[in-house]
Amino acid sequence: MASLSKGHSIDIKFTKLFINGQFVDSVSGKTFETIDPRSGDVIASVAEATKEDVDAAVQAARHAFDSGPWPRMSGSERGRILMKWADLIDQHTEEIATLDTMDAGKLFQFCKMEVPSVANMLRYYAGAADKIHGEVLKTAGKFHAYTLLEPIGVVGHIIPWNFPSSLFFTKVSPSLAAGCTMVVKPAEQTPLSALFYAHLAKLAGIPDGVLNVVPGFGKIAGSAVSSHMDIDKVSFTGSTQTGREVMQAAAKSNLKQVSLELGGKSPLIVFDDADVDTAAQLALIGILFNKGEVCVAGSRVFVQEGIYDEFEKKLVEKAKAWVVGDPFEPNVQQGPQVDKRQFEKILSYIEHGKREGATLLTGGKAIGNKGYYIEPTIFANVKEDMLIAKDEIFGPVMALSKFKTMEEAIERANNTTYGLAAGIVTKNIDIANTVSRSVRAGMIWVNCYFIFEHDIPFGGYKASGFGKDYGMEALHKYLQVKSVVTPIYNSPWH
């Protein structure tokens, strides 16, 4: 039993690997501890997957793809099972939300909204499963030609720790709808909800071997997935550096297809005509939501000089009023960072900012002596060559700057190796349109931020990766096109 706030507890039911429809120990018998970031205490010991376990999971997935019913089912039948899985998730919302709050330090109130959202993501792709089809082609000669859309095969999914539920289903939902089988490697920091989802998948009727979940470490289990000769596609979300390693492993093995959703250093550009109070609130949420552990966090904020001073004042006031604490408490707005390593990394970047001469407006320190809590931190007078302006910190640290002209703002927004997202705050439609078309990023939010819908494609430019999540674009990542050509004999049209 793991303890929660105010004396409550939860029974951690699933801590083994899920391979071929069964919960099993790792071949080596190894386990690792998953830690509660509120306290640094151990939540549970989880079976640790190594190469041998990944091999077993891939073998199960390969057999399920080559000989099992899943790819051969009608789309409507696959959709029916996915719908049932979604209904089971809805029935366990509180339990799953509790697991993610404990494992990742996420706000419980947010997790209780996130879990129903992932059930709806399943329903979205369940509805698409029977609408996968090719097209008939008009040829120049006496031939009949058409295309088939076929599932790509066995997929390896490698998932990060910041949104363990959402990112699990961002990958699993479209690939299951497409008819693929898969091996999922959740982050070692947050394995618990993935294992619970596997349990519910079995209850929903997903055949054995179709979905396999192998918790473990990136250097071992993740590497085994990326380099496996019998995996046809790998989908990775995480850091740009690890994305490069995944791509290299895929190329050196069987040249499997790769899709990558990687890091970001997203700009939020606030123009003089913006409502200052609204813009300050948007900027604050843009960096502090999920304690800054968001790939699209608005970590670089550019404010036009006409409203800069007023904006800075309101921003600091709001940041000082931001409530950091136990994520199970309903009034709390920011929980702990996911683990000690991330906690220490963020604090080291804050020290870099101070040494490089940025002005610390507020925050900058750890909170308390238990758990991994950090104050909301805002730096001003940030130069383009400072580490806090260039590197993805993945924490509650904002780099604030002022600008004069729209052209300057566009140039500085694009002065990054990343290109995941950007925000624009203005009442001028011409400015909004011009900047939207000029900033090199895969997602642009105008007068809003963090808006994700299941049918809005999401993915990055440049070092933020390639391949789209959400929408039909995500479904097509797990399909391949086959062209079929046959002669037409004695056609009256030729």
Q: What is the CB neighbour count within 10 angstroms for residue 255?
A: 8
Which of 48, 114, 245, 261 is labelled catalytic?
261
- Burial class (CB within 10 angstroms; exposed 0-12, middle 13-18, buried 19+) of 469: buried
**Residue 36's closest CA among 99, 87, 125, 107?**
99
Phi, psi dihedrals of residue 18, rounded to the nearest 5°: -115, 105
Distance CA 421, CA 287 (A): 13
Three-state DSSP state, 276: helix
Structure token pair of residue 488: 């037409």
How big is the chain by its Cα radius of gyration, in Å?
24
Q: What is the CB neighbour count within 10 angstroms for residue 154?
A: 29
Distance CA 274, CA 267 (A): 16
Distance CA 199, CA 192 (A): 11
Side chain identity at 461, as an amino acid letter?
A: Y
Distance CA 394, CA 264 (A): 9
Distance CA 457, CA 459 (A): 7
Active site residue 384: no
What is the Cα 470 distance to its own chain's centre?
Answer: 11
**Which residues does 131 contact at the CB level (< 8 Å), separation at least 6?**
75
Active site residues: 261
